[in-house]
């Protein structure tokens, strides 16, 4: 199981069964790291990255009955992905401005 399966697992967090949600949470927490997810969902996979961010936001906004540890992991992942995006835009803006000044 690799980072490409994360979006599929996130669907399981919406399941009505507490047992299913618990199993999915365990798989996410034990098998994924923020680093491995970011390595897979690189900027050149922007549509995949965006769909992952949307799925995470939806889970966090719905306040599903999931473990605090899972919520924290998803919040941290989303924050890193959004900060990384902001940093890329800042770098692009700086490069663009420097080119136009010269």
Return d(Cα 86, Cα 102) in angstroms, integer.
25
Q: How many domains would you assign to the chain?
A: 1
Helix axes 18-31, 68-101, angle to 10 degrees: 50
pLDDT along the chain (102 residues), means of 10: 84 93 94 89 81 92 90 93 62 46 54
> How big is the CA angle at 42 (ends 32 and 49), to the nearest 5 degrees?
75
Which residues constitute the domain of residue 78? 3-101
pLDDT in the model for residue 102: 52
pLDDT in the model for residue 93: 44
């Amino acid at each position: 199981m690799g980072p490409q399966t994360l979006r599929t697992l996130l669907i399981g967090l919406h399941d009505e069964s507490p047992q299913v949600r618990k199993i999915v949470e365990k798989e996410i927490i034990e098998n994924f790291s923020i680093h491995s997810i970011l390595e897979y969902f690189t900027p050149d996979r922007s549509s995949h990255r965006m769909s992952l961010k949307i799925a995470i936001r939806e889970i966090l906004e719905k306040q599903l009955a999931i473990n605090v540890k899972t919520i924290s992991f998803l919040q941290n992942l989303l924050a890193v992905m959004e900060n990384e995006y902001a940093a890329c835009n800042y770098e692009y803006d700086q490069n663009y401005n420097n080119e136009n000044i010269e």
